[in-house]
A and B are shown apart, each in its own frame.
Chain A
């Protein structure tokens, strides 16, 4: 009799699981998921901050032996950079003046919504983050997310208080891109790779693309605006009988250390 009760309970639990999956597939779980994420977001934010702090300490401990050499190298760099700063100030003023005249490039700060990263994808091959901003903050699916002026990913699922961001390094991520530094501005498609790398594919064989070039979003498709930096070309590879060439691209973003990111909201 008792064994039958246990079996019933197990079958009941399995049915609950199936109902949850089906409910999610047909969109019935949206409000429940939003409510749960709204409640848990503050706790996740606390854990996330603590985790980031500990991660920083571990990095410092791990690199203690290299600190002296790095210190000398940095002092030399500081001197060079001080000279650079004064030149950059002039260039910045000129740049701002040109931008205001041309009305091109750069993101209006009023369009950036800062968002705290409160969660990561719970496995090692897919790449998503959860941010503590949602539809109540004006976030909608498809918006670009940046950090340090570079593309982090695009908003995918949006709840009232949180949203999930599809990172550029996810193996299923695709976005149209172009090489900003070459005169013919070769275009291609950026896709994520397992191991946090990026590959630019579908570049025509006759285009020129060189290591160090800056890769930006091309704006094709309209979901993400053009000109957002994705990364820099590391290596290129071309095959004689291939239709396209490819380039390995590296992003300067440390995707496992994200704390605050900025969602680029669409102009009203």
Chain B
């Protein structure tokens, strides 16, 4: 059941990103919904489903993308592996501040990677776009965290996950 919910969440995020947010561009830019979802998978779930979500979500976006096949799969996988490594060294995964910082870092890094593939210099217009996407992503993060807080609470599995696996 949890696996099915995870698959549905990733697929819905991919569809929303390439179709819905293609038209509705808050602040004039497309938010990176998938990045937020993948970060939350990394922070809130076990290592294996989180990495599977990163690969699956990245793969769906790569299919929809006209360029750089594999970039999103690779980037999301690195993000999740970094989060898993962080948790093994004591990162407090349930903290909103942690999620916020990871999403901020992920948004900036992702855009820098895309700009690097273009070979484009970073100027005011690029920084403005990254800034607006950052705001969008943080609003989405806040929304998803609120949704989670209103779901029936289950005991946190952070202590086990901090050791890198679930008992």
Chain B residue with Cβ nearest A171:
B118
| B26-59 CB contacts (< 8 Å) to partner A | 29-30, 32, 34, 47-48, 51-52, 55, 58-59
Shortest distance in angstroms between B10's beta carbon and chain A's nearest beta carbon?
13
If A50-B20, A120-B22, A128-B66 touch, whether A195 touches B47 (CB-CB below 8 Å) is no
If A13-B51, A125-B111, A126-B66 touch, whether A194 touches B125 (CB-CB below 8 Å) is yes
**A10 to B88 Cα, complex, angstroms:** 15
A119 contacts B74, C-beta separation under 8 Å: no
A120 contacts B52, C-beta separation under 8 Å: no
B115 contacts A13, C-beta separation under 8 Å: no
Shortest distance in angstroms between B3's beta carbon and chain A's nearest beta carbon?
13
Identify whether the interface residues of A are mostly helix, strand, loop, or mixed.
helix
**A222 to B47 Cα, complex, angstroms:** 52
B23 contacts A48, C-beta separation under 8 Å: yes
Chain A residue with Cβ nearest B58:
A17
A122 contacts B114, C-beta separation under 8 Å: no
What 0/1 readout, one digit per residue, does chain A (52-65) give for beta carbons within 8 Å of chain B?
A: 10110010000000
**A228 to B114 Cα, complex, angstroms:** 30
What's the tally of chain B residues with a CB closer than 8 Å to chain A? 53
B48 contacts A10, C-beta separation under 8 Å: yes
Shortest distance in angstroms between B72's beta carbon and chain A's nearest beta carbon?
7
The answer to the question of B7 belonging to the interface, with a C-beta cut-off of 8 Å to chain A, is no
Q: Which residues of B contact A124 (CB under 8 A)?
A: 29-30, 111, 114, 129-130, 133
Q: Which 9 A-B pairs have the closest CB atoms?
A: A120-B22, A128-B66, A47-B19, A21-B70, A51-B23, A51-B20, A119-B18, A164-B66, A48-B19
Q: Give 13 A-B pairs besides A120-B30, A128-B66 with Cβ atoms closer than 8 angstroms.
A: A6-B47, A16-B55, A40-B15, A47-B19, A48-B22, A51-B22, A121-B64, A121-B65, A122-B17, A122-B72, A123-B114, A125-B111, A195-B125
Chain A residues packing against B (C-beta within 8 Å)? 2-3, 6, 9-10, 13-14, 16-17, 20-21, 24-25, 33, 36-37, 40, 43-48, 50-52, 54-55, 58, 117-126, 128-130, 156-157, 164-166, 171-172, 194-195, 256-257
